[in-house]
A and B are shown apart, each in its own frame.
Chain A
């Protein structure tokens, strides 16, 4: 699985968009980008994933650059409950187990 690089921490004002970057310059053609987040004292929560096209769901948007070497997770209107550690994971999806490799993530602090 390709290695990812994320800033260790970021701040965001409540109600503003939170843009969390992830660098994955060694990503291979068939590897997907997954985002999970972990709120304090809880297990990780799936947010979104994508291959090359931009993706949007009820939680967030995922923008993947054309060369696929980086991506950005966008929380359009951050709330205090979005304060969490956000993990960017690159993985080749297989029919074998989905053993995710979590790095250090980005600790997002949403401030009032």
Chain B
């Protein structure tokens, strides 16, 4: 399968713990996006990378959140001191850009539950 891969699919953690998610994009894609989706809502943009550079961050990305893409390939999203409000689906997408015809390819997400 050459699509976007996200691990783990599900994560249950206790409030106050740190969690880390991984995203492996489509191999030739240079852009990588993180989104968050809560139940019944559409996905919300968090941040994106072009190669290893983080070029945009949403105000939703509090200082407890950090994302990296050290070699311009896979990316990690870490949440420190998790809160119950962090419970959501975290989606990763990749694309080939820059292009005015840019299409995002999404993974199946990591479902986070904070108890």
**Chain A positions near chain B (C-beta within 8 angstroms):** 36, 41-46, 49, 85, 87, 93-105
Within 8 A of A (CB), among B70-115: 91-93, 95, 97-109
Are A95 and B106 CB-contacts (below 8 A) given A101-B45, A102-B43?
no
A99 to B42, CA, bound (A): 13
Q: State how many residues of chain B have any CB contact under 8 Å with chain A.
A: 30
Query: Is B62 in contact with chain A by the CB < 8 A criterion?
Result: no
**Complex contact A98–B102 (CB within 8 A):** yes
Candidates B42, B50, B106; contact of A97 at CB < 8 Å: B50
Chain B residues with CB under 8 A of A85? 42
Candidates B48, B50, B101, B106; contact of A93 at CB < 8 Å: B101
Candidates A49, A99, A103, A105; contact of B56 at CB < 8 Å: A99
**Chain B positions near chain A (C-beta within 8 angstroms):** 4, 31, 33, 41-45, 48, 50, 55-56, 58, 91-93, 95, 97-109
**Complex contact B56–A42 (CB within 8 A):** no
The 6 closest A-B pairs by CB, nearest first: A43-B106, A102-B42, A95-B98, A93-B100, A98-B102, A99-B45
